Chain A
Amino acid sequence: MTQTRPALLECNDLWKVYGHNPEGFVKAYAGSPSAEDLQAHHMVGAVRKANVKIYEGEIFVIMGLSGSGKSTLVRCLSRLIQPTAGELIFDGQDILSKSDKQLIEIRRKRMGMVFQHFALLPHLTVLQNAAFPLEVQGMPRAKREERAREVIELVGLKGRENYYPAQLSGGQQQRVGIARSLAVEPDLWFLDEPFSALDPLIRREMQDEFLRLQGMLKKTIVFITHDFDEAIRLADRIAVMRDGEIVQVARPEELVLNPADDYVSEFTRYIPRAKVLTLRSIMRPGAVDGTAAGTLSVTDRVESIADEVERSDTDFNIADEDGRTVGHIGRREIIDVLIGRGVNA
């Protein structure tokens, strides 16, 4: 279904190599040096031959261990850094060939970014921080502050407009960061580990907040995290990176059910299946014989309906997106998932 929507951002064979004369190096190896080639020449392949399509309105999560190249990839996608080789297409236009001026224009109007360590300007108040992207564009003061107040209210910081960042808690600071990135109403929203610097309770709260905002705004989002829990909570699709390479791009469920290799399955090993699997992948075909206890959706996650199914003595029907009954499910299937029986991986 997502595949039918147009891709907002697309990169093909994207490379980012650090070291001496990286362009020449990549060219010398016909555009795709191997890991051994890189190592032999003391080059760091921070992003290696990345191919990604990000569709309008989806939450695309990039995850991987520390140093796997997530930040570098995102910085290439937003062109904060210049890729060594490859193609980058934003909204149908080749963005690598844009001049600095055009790039500034694109960033001002169409992109927003939230940073891991908030990147708030210490000398500006909450209001001024949120209004900063608009100030840079030369919007008159009254107008930009009005807009800033809107986004501040949106992230739940009303009443703290005149605080300075140092007077806020980490969670509140990141709310300001989010408000600021929303002020320009970006089409494409980058978030680089936005919640990693927060402690677990606040992180969870911020994730809920984020989902609430996305429910309202429906942005196209590139979200980085190294936390798989976070990834499956938020993602429509996940890209797993290792040593600069994208190992697999898939929906969370597929990642668990069909990991591309050991690295990916290692990632997903300790994730409770119930959190990831939807009824689509565990239902038995056909409707219930006799009376069903109720109807569930194919997109429901096991975790969210486990209680209900377990309590009931009879099975449930399962309907697809169009409301047609496509299968059924009972206590046994749920228990299988919960104790990890019969599910591969």
Chain B
Amino acid sequence: MSVLDQDLKTPIRLRSLTWLRAPWLFWGGLLILTWAVSHYAFDIYRALDARWIIRFPATWQPDFESRITAFMDWLLHDAQLFGILFRDVTRAISAVIEAPYDLVVDVLVTGLQQGIGQQAVQILPPLSWVAVIFTVTAVGHYTKSWSMAVLMGLCFTYLAVFGQWESAMLTLASVLIAVPIAAGGGLLLGVLAFRVRWVDRAMRPILDLMQTVPVFAYLVPILFMFGFGPVSALVATIIYAMPPMIRVTIVALRGVPEELAELGRMVGCTRRQQMWKVLVPSAKPMLMVGVNQVIMLTLNMVIIASMIGAGGLGYDVLTALRRLDIGGGVEAGLAIVVLAIALDRLSQAYAGRTVTQKAAQSQGGFAMRHRWSLSIIAVILVTGLIGAAASWLQTYPDALVINTGQIWENAIGYINVNYFDTLDAAKTFLLTWFLLPVRQFFVGIPWPWGLMAMTLIGLRVGGWKLSLLVFVLTGLIVLSGLWDKAMMTVYLCGASVVIASAIGIPLGLLAASNPVSNRIVGAFIDTLQTLPSFVYLIPVVMLFRVGDFSAMIAIVAYALAPAVRYAAHGIRSIDPQIIEAGIVSGCTRGQLMRRIKLPMILPELLLGLNQTIMLALSMLVITALVGTRDLGQEVYIALTRANTGQGIVAGLSVAFIAIIADRLLEAAAKRMRKQMGMA
């Protein structure tokens, strides 16, 4: 009897336990509860007569903003280390960056001048457009082939013909300064981390953080320290573009075959020779991939940088967006795209240079080996001399500039006139059935419940350490009084990320299904990623006006790529034997996907989701231009008012959201991997 009891009892107890632990119960329950709390928050406050429930009382806030502002003031005016004023340090950095930048701007845009302002006299003209185009064409041929040369020539001719020359050269000048500093600095730091243990250890968490912190968390402090102008813009760009280079450098150096390192020691290299003659050159192909990334990130920053003083194409787009000038915006935007494509292809071609090419180029006599550099010098001299007389050779004649602004204006006008109803219907549909409900849900969540729910999620996903981190970060957001804005941010990003995943993951699955679709989807995604983020914003605003909807579409377009990539990569990395096992056991195609492939790529999808969220968050300050009301807007306002405290607090809040999302998803992915025995 008792034995029978035992037998019956154990399984039942076990079953009831697993039932309690079932994931759907936790997540479903949390969702329903949160929805209820969000929906009835107002009533709860009424019933309890406790207004603090829905609005964090101002008296409880430690006023981070003015404290930070005061601290930054102190830092800039009085702080000193070893007797050196902090101010002098920033000035020194400015000088180091500004001098070469001015020189490049002189060469490309203004020409060498004597005197300042109105009285300035031009001593030497800038490089003529013909000379620049010839140079890039020659470089294209040198790095790869004639077709590369033609591509480069076409891209730069485009800039001249479509009237974007001067802005483009300004942008190019900042690229030419930012890329070497970011790449060189990244290389040096990477080398240091590779060589010195504790530097590596100290740098790792900082790099992790930099990857999650959106740019604009440090825009305002930089603006404050370096003032409005190209230097600030360059500093922000460099900080933004350097971390990937550091990472790539460390990985590349670690990846150098052990044998080569041994060779270096065996022939008696000193430490320095070992690094610079053996390891770094051997790692060069991979390092070049890093340089390519730096270039792309630099171009990605042009518009954001123009918010703190960069001129050039980014500034043109920014002003066009502010004035809702369709034509101007599209023109400048396209010019950035063209520049990005040219530089991307060029740097990729350089990274992929084969030894056959190198060998061929080192043949022949001096004139033969240096035919391109010699001819470049010749063209520069000739156009410079003749250009003094014939101005069309010096600057592309205005009369021949093709203005496309009107065409874009008309095209958008046409679409708006003829398809307004359709577009508007689509917008309204999505707004009423998706965006608004989601927004109500998030914005309604009162902070005490939000804080608790986040902590619970942290506990569930990653244990008490993670839960503590989540609690502290969320708590800080609450304390700074930005809870509502943070929830707006979460809503906007959340909705965009959901849509991006809904589009991106199927695309990724499609890409992985056969080579043809892979090529098509791959090209599509590559193009999306080459385009600087804000370019998406222009057409969207023209079609859908300002507002959350436009912001969402721009974010989706920008954040789509990782969802596709990770899904495709996940599917491809499934062991084919597992699929075969599925087929042998008689799965249909649908079953294969649902029962085998999808569960197996879930961790990969989570990582893709993570990246998607990071990209979405980094779009926020740009979408602020179309009138969102989230933390991005807060940063944007702080930028225009140069309010350091506000900017830093809002920037950090976004960073906290990013960190929370990152850690939660990473923990979840890790858990899943472990469950599936893949860790």
Contact = CB atoms under 8 A, between A and B. Distances in A.
Interface of A: 75, 78, 80, 104-109, 111-113, 115-119, 121-125, 132-133, 135-137, 162-167, 180, 184, 190
Nearest to B268: A108
Contacts of B356: 164, 167
Given A162-B362, A163-B359, A107 B265 contact: yes
Given A119-B263, A184-B267, 14 more contacts: A104-B268, A106-B268, A107-B265, A107-B266, A108-B267, A117-B257, A121-B263, A121-B278, A121-B282, A125-B359, A136-B267, A136-B273, A164-B358, A167-B355
Return the 5 tightest CB-CB contacts between A and B, nearest first: A108-B268, A164-B355, A133-B267, A107-B268, A119-B259
A39 to B, nearest CB: 26
Nearest to B265: A80
Nearest to B274: A136
Interface string B275-300: 00110011010000000000000000
Contact of A122 (B277, B282, B363): B282
Contacts of B270: 104
B277 A136 contact: yes
Interface in B121-144: none
B398 interface: no
Contacts of A137: 268
B268 A136 contact: yes
12 contacts: A108-B268, A113-B262, A113-B266, A117-B257, A117-B259, A121-B263, A121-B281, A122-B282, A133-B267, A166-B354, A166-B355, A167-B359
A104 B277 CA distance: 16
A119 B359 contact: no
B259 A116 contact: yes
A105 to B, nearest CB: 7
Contacts of B161: none
B interface, by DSSP: helix, strand, loop or mixed?
A: helix
Nearest to A165: B355
Contact of A119 (B260, B269, B273, B354): B260
B359 A80 contact: no
Contacts of A109: 268
Give the interface centre of B259, B265, B268, B270 by most chain A CB atoms within 10 Å. Answer: B268
A10 B277 CA distance: 32
Interface in B245-275: 257, 259-260, 262-263, 265-270, 273
B282 A115 contact: no
A119 B262 contact: yes
Nearest to A116: B259
A77 to B, nearest CB: 12
Contacts of A78: 266
B359 A75 contact: no
Nearest to A134: B267
A190 B265 CA distance: 14
Contacts of A108: 267-268
A162 B364 CA distance: 12
Given A115-B263, A166-B355, A123 B281 contact: yes
A105 B268 contact: yes
A65 to B, nearest CB: 21
A75 B282 contact: no
A167 B265 CA distance: 26
B273 to A, nearest CB: 5
Contacts of B273: 136
Contacts of A104: 268-270
A136 B359 contact: no
Contacts of A164: 355-356, 358-359
Contacts of B362: 125, 162
A113 B263 CA distance: 8
Contact of B268 (A116, A124, A133): A133
A55 B268 CA distance: 24
Contacts of B354: 166
B262 A80 contact: yes
Contacts of A112: 266
Nearest to A164: B355
A137 B359 CA distance: 26
A115 B267 contact: no
Given A123-B281, A123-B282, A123-B284, A80 B358 contact: no
A116 B262 CA distance: 12
Contacts of A121: 260, 263, 278, 281-282
Contacts of B363: 162
Which residue, of A107, A117, A118, A119, has the highest number of chain B Cβ atoms within 10 A? Answer: A119
A133 to B, nearest CB: 4
B393 to A, nearest CB: 40
A125 B363 CA distance: 13
Contacts of A135: 277
A181 to B, nearest CB: 8
B450 to A, nearest CB: 47
Contacts of B260: 119, 121
Interface in B346-380: 354-356, 358-359, 362-363
Contacts of B358: 164
A139 to B, nearest CB: 12
A116 B260 CA distance: 11
Interface in B312-334: none
A115 B269 contact: no
Nearest to A80: B262
Nearest to B363: A162
A193 B358 CA distance: 31
Nearest to A112: B266
B257 A119 contact: yes
Contact of A115 (B262, B281, B359): B262
Contacts of A115: 259, 262-263
A133 B273 CA distance: 11
A138 B431 CA distance: 72
A135 B358 CA distance: 21
A196 to B, nearest CB: 13
Most A-side CB within 10 Å, residue of B262, B266, B269, B278: B266
Nearest to B262: A80
A116 B358 CA distance: 26
B263 A162 contact: no
A137 B270 CA distance: 9
Nearest to B264: A136
Contacts of A119: 257, 259-260, 262-263
A111 B263 CA distance: 11
A121 B363 CA distance: 20
A217 to B, nearest CB: 18
A253 B340 CA distance: 70
A163 B356 CA distance: 8
Nearest to A184: B267
Contacts of A162: 359, 362-363
B285 to A, nearest CB: 8
A133 B265 CA distance: 10
B544 to A, nearest CB: 52
A118 B266 CA distance: 13
A162 B284 CA distance: 20
A165 to B, nearest CB: 8
B278 to A, nearest CB: 7
Contacts of A117: 257, 259
A118 B268 CA distance: 17
A164 B270 CA distance: 25
Contacts of B267: 107-108, 132-133, 136, 180, 184
A107 B273 CA distance: 14
B192 to A, nearest CB: 20
A51 to B, nearest CB: 24
Contacts of A180: 267
A136 B271 CA distance: 11
Nearest to B280: A123
A31 B363 CA distance: 60
A163 B354 CA distance: 12
A136 B264 CA distance: 9
B369 to A, nearest CB: 12
